Chain A
Amino acid sequence: MTYIDPHIHMLARTTADYEAMAAAGVVAIIEPAFWIGQPRTSVGSYIDYLSTLVGWERFRAAQFGIRHYCSIGLNSKEANNERLAEEVMQILPRFLLKEGVVAVGEIGYDEQTPAEDKYFRAQLELAKELNMLVQIHTPHRDKKRGTSRSMDVCIEHKLAPDRVVVDHNNEETAQEVLDRGFWAGFTIYPGTKMGNERMVEIVRRYGSEHIFINSSADWGVSDPLAVPKTAQLMRERGIAEEHIRRVTYENALKAFTAGGQMAESDWLSPPAIDQRTLFEGNSVLRGGQEPRIEGKRTKERMLIE
């Protein structure tokens, strides 16, 4: 089985995670621009962060045969630093059209302040101008209202619901997001978001239309293997394979390929120039490779050479 993790912050993860993800069948990931745990104090560090997403991190993923995409935006927390926010808005157009930038994101609300609202709307306008998809972060606090409001504002700015991914859903928000025709992302993240047993029940209840899962793994206690692990759990709990395929691969592919910056052929048959430069040898063409055995990998870990 192959998987897509359409929301993960690899900048905060190690190469061991990449290796484990590749071994587990993850072929493509999307890294939304977000807060890095420590507030940025200047636009310079923001530029370097965004450059890392389209540069170094993409190369790092490629070493493991994983295709790395990202979304670019000003996150809601840092929208509250207006001096910084203004400067970031000026440099966003220099990044949004770059290769592999699949959406404006992750944007939306954190505390639902006026500043957050202002820059959320400004970025929705940018997405419209550049004909881009939008990846929305829904808030932890006052979540249900924050999620409804995010969608209201998208509609107000005349964005088509099927070009907007609403992320971090739960049992309380799912119905409305699906009813209104947005893509519903579910984050399998211990403690604060969804657990994967709950996710199994979501799929039982809502099916697999317009739903996909992600790990949102970052610098917190989180799991970069959340997508393959949840697929396995669904299998064990008797969810049909076609539903599993949709929520762990096909729907994310469908949602994000609409932006024109991600295609299945990127990992199934990459251009020759990418094979010469980014994907050396056959690491990307894992189809013909021997599956890695977990026990063997653990044994290899004992020796650091």
Chain B
Amino acid sequence: MPTPAQLLQGWLRRQLPGDAAGWLEAQAAAVGGAETDRALFLAISLVHRRIGKADLALSAADIAAAEATRPGWRPAGWSLDQAARIFLLLAAGGSPTRFAERLEQMFATADVGELIAFYRGLPLYPEQPRYVQRAGEGLRTNMKAVFEAVAHNNPYPAEQFDEHRWNQMVVKALFIGSTLYPIEGLERRWNPDLTHMLCDYAHERWAAGRTVSYELWRGVGPHADKAAVDDLARVLDNGGPVERQAAALALRESPHRDAASILGRDPDLAAAVHGGRISWDALAAKHSAPT
């Protein structure tokens, strides 16, 4: 099976014009096992000039190959410069310690485009647990695009974050007006504390007269206690059309003993969620901007 670096190399070689592809191959050869990191620093900075920012063109087979070589890796939506930068990082190689120290230096002087690329590459770096602090730094940013490079379409958070960091990430996604559906591993990492934080956040928004993202309720169903089920009832009774569908889905997923009877108050919605005509995926496709 090809390595992620080999896949990236193949995709880039296939799509880039000859001179750009040649430049990239030469840089990859020069940075591999180099004694100093100077060549790598310069090459990574030069990528935007030499490679450009067109979208990385991937087929369904490419996406499947990515998934096979690194489960959860989703390069759909990457651009050529991002792919090339991560390819060069991987080509520089070295021991996992050297790799991590070098990357940390590069994060310190990165521009916005480099930050997004380096965070998107998280699932491909050696000795994965080394990057938890760095990924946490990415979540602390005020740059939405950088936050989403960590949080969205990235298997790293669900695999490596403890519950506290994970919960902070999910709530922050809502807080900054981002979306939840591109977060990998959402379903398996819901937890009672997160449910509590989400309901608290909804109450804070309601008190301020603000709207609440329908996605918030997705994290409430699986671990809803009495108070949370009451919140879902409130949304089902008083929410807008999309929120009500979300509340119905959450009630359907809730094991709480009151959930079924509350959902039964709206026989049409109940039938729709039981019949699979409403789903989180369908709501996301219809009501969230693509990311």
Contact = CB atoms under 8 A, between A and B. Distances in A.
A276 B42 contact: no
B1 interface: no
Interface in B108-125: 108-116
Contact of B111 (A47, A100, A273, A277): A100
Nearest to B78: A273
Given A55-B115, A271-B52, 15 more contacts: A47-B108, A47-B109, A50-B109, A51-B111, A54-B110, A55-B143, A58-B111, A93-B42, A94-B41, A95-B109, A97-B45, A97-B46, A99-B111, A271-B79, A272-B79
A51 B55 contact: no
13 contacts: A51-B108, A54-B110, A59-B142, A94-B41, A94-B109, A97-B46, A98-B111, A98-B114, A261-B49, A271-B54, A273-B55, A273-B81, A278-B112
A274 interface: yes
Interface size class of A (residues with CB under 8 A): 20 to 34
Given A94-B41, A273-B53, A55 B77 contact: no
Given A271-B54, A276-B77, A260 B49 contact: yes
A99 B145 CA distance: 16
A51 B114 CA distance: 11
Which of B46, B54, B111, B291 is the most central at the interface, judged by chain A CB atoms within 10 Å of its CB? B111
Contacts of B195: none
B204 to A, nearest CB: 15
Nearest to A270: B53
Contacts of B154: none
Interface of B: 41-42, 45-46, 48-49, 52-55, 77, 79, 81-82, 108-116, 142-146, 148, 289, 291
Contacts of B41: 93-94
Nearest to B107: A51
A207 B109 CA distance: 42
Contacts, number: 71
Interface in A210-246: none
Contacts of B108: 47, 51
A206 interface: no
A148 B183 CA distance: 59
A281 B291 CA distance: 11
B241 to A, nearest CB: 23
Interface in A87-111: 91, 93-95, 97-100
A51 B110 contact: yes
A273 B79 contact: yes
Contacts of B49: 97, 99, 260-261
Nearest to B47: A99
A-B CB proximity, top 3 nearest: A54-B111, A273-B79, A277-B145
A94 B82 CA distance: 18
B6 to A, nearest CB: 23
A58 B145 CA distance: 12
Nearest to B53: A271
A55 B54 CA distance: 21
Contacts of A94: 41, 45, 109
A198 to B, nearest CB: 37
Contact of A59 (B54, B143, B291): B143
Contacts of A47: 108-109
Contacts of A274: 53
B116 to A, nearest CB: 6
B145 A59 contact: yes
A261 B50 CA distance: 12
A127 to B, nearest CB: 16
Contact of B110 (A55, A260, A280): A55
A281 B144 CA distance: 13
B284 to A, nearest CB: 16
A94 B40 CA distance: 10
